[in-house]
């Protein structure tokens, strides 16, 4: 043990607490703690917007003053195109619905589309990507060609076809949700596929996979224990892009008139469509609020995704400016951490 244990590398590591608390290691919390400056601002803004959006979706029943298809209450009909007032804080639509309630309920529909779209595409995409990347050969070639062909499809066109196939155009709540979700799925499977495939191809050549091979581990064991777990790092980014695309497609469907019936569920795209004529006649509240809802929900999710992506990459991650390093404290941990930094800066040359 002579030469090496005297090296300082062994000691400081032992003194360090090996694991942070469970809370600090949770995916988003961990990134939030290590972020600084603008990146932290982006992440927090994204998280707040997303949180507001998710809360209003989950608790729509209690937040919204009226139902999404409610036209009248005890004191009679709401009236059409009423400007904002204490009883209808964001006014009413041309169809006589309460705008505020429709926007809140719409969040629920949008969230359902996101969840369905992600669940449908992520498993198939990841599995196919892993097979294709690790096994290679003719399977890989065929899957890549199919994935490329699907890229050529406009997702909105696909969504329209889907909605016609599923429910003949004018659709129910789940018909509309699945039309949007499935079309998103078809477009996003290739994306998950591509990302996981390229990671799998890279990791396939890493020494630890070869060391598993020389041990004699079976192919499925190598694929799932060694390759899959190391290739999921970029998933959060596509995950969030996928979610925002799902919302946009649903809104697009609704705007084109293939969306969900207003009596089946609230849907932002449908409301925007119906408010088209209002805009020219100076009725601003019917268009602004659903429009803002779409923009903010997409913005929030994308901000979270972008900042997670930046924070995952040590080269993009911002750090606090170095104050004068306290000599005594720093010299303890120094040799361990300097090595990678020095090596990295060497590589980048």
Partner 1 sequence: MTADSAKTNAAKTNAATTDAAKTVVSITDLDVSFATDAGTVRAVDGVSLNVAAGEVLAIVGESGSGKTVTAKSILGLLPETATARGAIVLSNRAGTSTNDVLSLSKKQLRGIRGSDVSMVFQEPSTALNPVYTVGWQIAEGLRAHGDYSRAEAKAKAIEILGRVGIPDPKTRVNYYPHQFSGGQKQRVVIAQALVLNPGLIVADEPTTALDVTVQAEILDLLRRCRDEFGTAIVLITHNMGVVADLADRVVVMYQGEVVEEADAVTLFQNPQNDYTKRLLASVPHIGQGVLQTAERASAREASWANAAPVVVADHLRIEYPGRFGRSAFVAVDDVSFEIRAGEVLGLVGESGSGKTTIGRAIGGLTKVSGGSLKVLGHEMNGVRERVFKKTRSDIGFVFQDPASSFNPLLTIAECVAEPLIVHGRARDPRSARKRVDELLEAVQLPASFGDRYPHELSGGQRQRASLARAIALEPSLLIADEPTSALDVSVQARVLELFAELQREFGFAALFISHDLAVVDLLADRIAVLYHGTLVEEGTGAEVLGAPQHPYTQRLLASLPVPDPVEQAARREALHTLRAAQTAAS
Residue ranges that bind partner 1, judged by CB under 8 A: 1-4, 7-10, 13, 18, 34, 206-208, 210-218, 221, 225-226, 229-230, 314, 317, 319-327, 330-331, 333-339, 341-343, 345-346, 349
Provide the minimum distance between the beta carbon of 339 and partner 1 in the complex, in angstroms, as a whole number: 4
In the bound state with partner 1, the residue whose beta carbon lies nearer, of 228 and 246, is 228
Provide the minimum distance between the beta carbon of 317 and partner 1 in the complex, in angstroms, as a whole number: 8
Provide the minimum distance between the beta carbon of 217 and partner 1 in the complex, in angstroms, as a whole number: 5
- Considering all CA atoms of the chain, what is the largest pairwise distance in Å, rounded to the nearest integer? 90
DSSP per-residue letters across 31-89: HHHH--HHHHHHHHHHHHHHHHHHHHHHTHHHH-SS-TT--EETTEE--SSPPP-SSST
In the bound state with partner 1, the residue whose beta carbon lies nearer, of 9 and 77, is 9
In the bound state with partner 1, the residue whose beta carbon lies nearer, of 72 and 229, is 229
In the bound state with partner 1, the residue whose beta carbon lies nearer, of 141 and 229, is 229
SS3 assignment, position 98:
strand
Provide the minimum distance between the beta carbon of 254 and partner 1 in the complex, in angstroms, as a whole number: 42
Contacts of 283 (CB under 8 A, 6+ apart): 81, 83, 91, 275
Contacts of 306 (CB under 8 A, 6+ apart): 42, 46, 237, 240
Contacts of 161 (CB under 8 A, 6+ apart): 183
In the bound state with partner 1, the residue whose beta carbon lies nearer, of 150 and 217, is 217
SS3 assignment, position 195:
helix
Provide the minimum distance between the beta carbon of 348 and partner 1 in the complex, in angstroms, as a whole number: 8
- Rounded to 5°, the CA angle 20-26-31 comes to 90
């Amino acid at each position: 043990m002579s030469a090496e244990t005297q090296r300082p590398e062994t000691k400081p590591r032992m003194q360090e607490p090996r694991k942070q608390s469970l809370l600090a290691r949770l995916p988003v919390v961990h990134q939030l703690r290590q972020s600084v400056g603008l990146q932290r601002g982006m992440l927090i803004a994204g998280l707040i917007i997303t949180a507001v959006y998710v809360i209003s979706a989950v608790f729509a029943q209690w937040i919204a003053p009226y139902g999404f298809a409610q036209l009248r209450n005890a004191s009679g009909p709401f009236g059409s195109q009423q400007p904002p007032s204490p009883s209808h804080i964001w006014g009413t639509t041309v169809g006589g619905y309460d705008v505020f309630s429709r926007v809140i309920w719409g969040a629920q529909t949008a969230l359902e589309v996101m969840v369905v779209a992600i669940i449908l595409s992520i498993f198939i995409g990841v599995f196919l990507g892993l097979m294709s990347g690790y096994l290679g050969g003719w399977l890989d070639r065929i899957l890549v060609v199919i994935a490329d062909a699907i890229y050529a499809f406009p997702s909105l066109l696909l969504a329209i076809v889907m909605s016609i196939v599923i429910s003949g155009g004018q659709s129910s709540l789940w018909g509309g949700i699945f039309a949007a979700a499935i079309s998103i799925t078809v477009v996003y499977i290739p994306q998950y596929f591509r990302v996981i495939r390229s990671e799998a191809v890279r990791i396939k050549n890493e020494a630890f996979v070869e060391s598993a091979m020389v041990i004699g581990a079976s192919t499925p064991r190598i694929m799932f224990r060694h390759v899959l777990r190391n290739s999921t790092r970029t998933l959060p980014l596509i995950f969030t892009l996928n979610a925002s695309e799902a919302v946009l497609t649903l809104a697009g469907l609704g705007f084109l008139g293939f969306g969900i019936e207003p009596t089946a569920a609230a849907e932002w795209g449908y409301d925007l469509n119906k408010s088209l004529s209002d805009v020219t006649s100076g009725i601003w509240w019917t268009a602004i609020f659903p429009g803002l809802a779409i923009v903010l929900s997409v913005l929030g999710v994308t901000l979270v995704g972008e900042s997670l992506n930046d924070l995952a990459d040590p080269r993009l991650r911002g750090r606090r400016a170095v104050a004068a390093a306290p000599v005594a404290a720093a010299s303890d941990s120094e040799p361990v951490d300097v090595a990678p930094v020095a090596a990295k800066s060497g590589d980048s040359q």
